[in-house]
Structure 1
Amino acid sequence: MTWDDVTAWAQAELPETEVATWYRTPALKVAGKGYARLRTEAEGGLVLFVGLDEKAALLASGDPAFFTTPHYDGHGSILVHLDRVDPQQLRELLTESWRAKAPARLST
């Protein structure tokens, strides 16, 4: 998966998704709220919002697609290596992250 793949899928499948910037980096937003951000930090990765239990499960799975940094400790977000993630799993996580930020009128 690439950032272009992510944006194309999100714009086609997740209502009112806009490609924007967030913290001066490429991002996806819904109703002005960021739900995915492409990091430019040394470790790279795509930031997505997930519950703390899901974050723990993804990290415990040993799947090399998922990681975190100390900056995200205690926060419900996971970092994803786009070149290592299963596309279907990424779509599910993108949808979950979108739902966390989308207005109720969109996420029902």
Structure 2
Amino acid sequence: MRDWDDACATALALPGVAMDPYYGVPVPKVAGKPILAPGREAGSFVLMVSSVEKQVLMATDPDTFWQTPHYDGYAAVLVRYGTPARDRIVAYIERSWWDRATPALRAQRGDGQRP
């Protein structure tokens, strides 16, 4: 991801995603649930993932996926902009969407499988 706009555009390309307030800031949401949010730390955004996925991502690519004490214990990981992991980041944005989307929205996507 190059920047926040790039991350949002990726999420907004998925069925049913719209920008909606989250703690007063517009973020991509599906079924009323955020997929990602701007990071409190410069140069990163927050991606909602399961706690298990978070640990795997941070262990396998700490240059891209990381956290600060603020995010410790939350099912969300910080993602640095500008790393070469674009395909992996896109895949996890799609997984975050899948975990929050309704069955009808999943059917619109057409593949029926969790990314």
Length-normalised TM-score, structure 2: 0.78
- 1:28 matched residue in structure 2: 28
Provide the C-alpha distance between the structure 2 equivalents of 1:37 and 1:62, rounded to a whole number of angstroms: 20
SS across alignment from 1:64: coil
Count of matched residue pairs: 106
After superposing on structure 2, the runs of 4+ consecutive aligned residues of structure 1 that deviate more than 4 Å are none
Among all aligned residue pairs of Structure 1 and Structure 2, give the percentage whose two residues are the same amino acid.
34
Length-normalised TM-score, structure 1: 0.82
1:59 counterpart letter in structure 2: M
Within-5 A mapping of 1:1-108: 1-12=2-13, 14-39=14-39, 41-43=40-42, 45-84=44-83, 86-107=85-106, 108=112
**Which 5+ residue runs of structure 1 have no aligned equivalent?**
none
Cα RMSD over matched residues? Answer: 1.9
Provide the C-alpha distance between the structure 1 equivalents of 2:98 and 2:3, rounded to a whole number of angstroms: 22
Provide the C-alpha distance between the structure 2 equivalents of 1:63 and 1:69, rounded to a whole number of angstroms: 12
